[in-house]
Amino acid sequence: MIDDTTTGAVQSIDGIWITPAGRYWDAVRLPRRLGLDAFNAVTGPLGAVVMAPVTRGMYFLVPPGTTRSWNLPQTVGLGEAAHIALPPAGRKYPPGPYWLVPPRRSQLHTPTYDLHCAVEIALGLRPGRPTADRPDLARLSLKQVKGVHCALCSHRLDQARKLGVFCTGEGLLAEPTELRACAPDCSTTSRSSLPAAGRAQAPEPANWKQPATEHRAMRFDRVTARPRTACCPLRPTS
């Protein structure tokens, strides 16, 4: 077990840092589906976001001391006395917790008010952006998931815009994935790139799978010793 006296973090196996909240950041924990809806509804700057596949949750880092009055349903504000399992700096995929948005020195926090508004939109407590651009997640092809084809109209992408991050928890979208669509909208797709009218889209190989998503649970009281392999991703530089 490795201690980091600067951040109070303790490194367990696999480079996971068990780190106290309330010093350099607070965190807001949301269930994954609500969290992704909120993620897509944030209109301002986005700070670091941690995915926790084991618990199907996600954590937004917000400025320290700003979650004391956080009280939205299905969510928990985590400040002093709370600990979060933070992934190693470069981990962007499972197994274990990983960064959906890695920490950046210039943008570590999502502004708490912005996140609060986004969660309210996701909960239906506040009017938000229209949802007409939501793709049919159950019918996406591999090329749509990979960003080669538009996630809305399935035409090959030339100019693309971001639709948001989506996840169904299984199949091609077992983990949150950013989807793209024609820019500025699907009506501008050039005719030459359109498939023949009525031609069905070719199905993707049925055996294509995302990496496994369920892994051992992380428990603070089960950490074991391991040589130090990486710096705590949130350790401030002197």
Least distance CB 173 / Zn ion (angstroms):
18
Query: Any contact of residue 182 with Zn ion (CB under 5 A)?
Result: yes
What SS3 class is residue 98?
A: strand
Write the CA distances from 188 to 3, 77, 129, 136, 149, integer angstroms.
55, 43, 22, 20, 14
Instruction: Indicate the residue among 2 and 163 with the shorter CB distance to Zn ion.
Output: 163
Stretch that binds Zn ion, among 64-72, 171-179, 180-188, 209-217 (CB under 5 A): 180-188
Least distance CB 158 / Zn ion (angstroms):
10
Least distance CB 152 / Zn ion (angstroms):
5
Return the biggest CA–CA distance within the chain.
64
Write the CA distances from 70 to 9, 65, 134, 158, integer angstroms.
24, 11, 29, 42
Per the structure block, which two tokens stand in for 216?
């051992």
Stretch that binds Zn ion, among 75-83, 120-128, 175-183, 209-217 (CB under 5 A): 175-183
Query: Any contact of residue 183 with Zn ion (CB under 5 A)?
Result: no
Q: Cα torsion at 50, 83, 236, 36 (round to 10°)? A: 20
Binding letters toward Zn ion, positions 11-50, x by CB under 5 A: ----------------------------------------
Least distance CB 93 / Zn ion (angstroms):
27
Burial of residue 229 (CB within 10 Å: 0-12, 13-18, 19+) is exposed
Instruction: Indicate the residue among 76 and 186 with the shorter CB distance to Zn ion.
Output: 186
69 vs 223: CA distance, rounded Å? 32
Query: Any contact of residue 78 with Zn ion (CB under 5 A)?
Result: no
Q: For residues 144-173, which are near Zn ion according to CB under 5 A?
A: 150, 152-153
Question: How far does the chain reach from its first CA to its final CA, in angstroms?
Answer: 23
| Count of residues in contact with Zn ion, rule CB under 5 A | 6
Instruction: Indicate the residue among 187 and 207 with the shorter CB distance to Zn ion.
Output: 187
Query: Which stretches of the chain bind Zn ion, using CB under 5 A?
Result: 150, 152-153, 181-182, 186
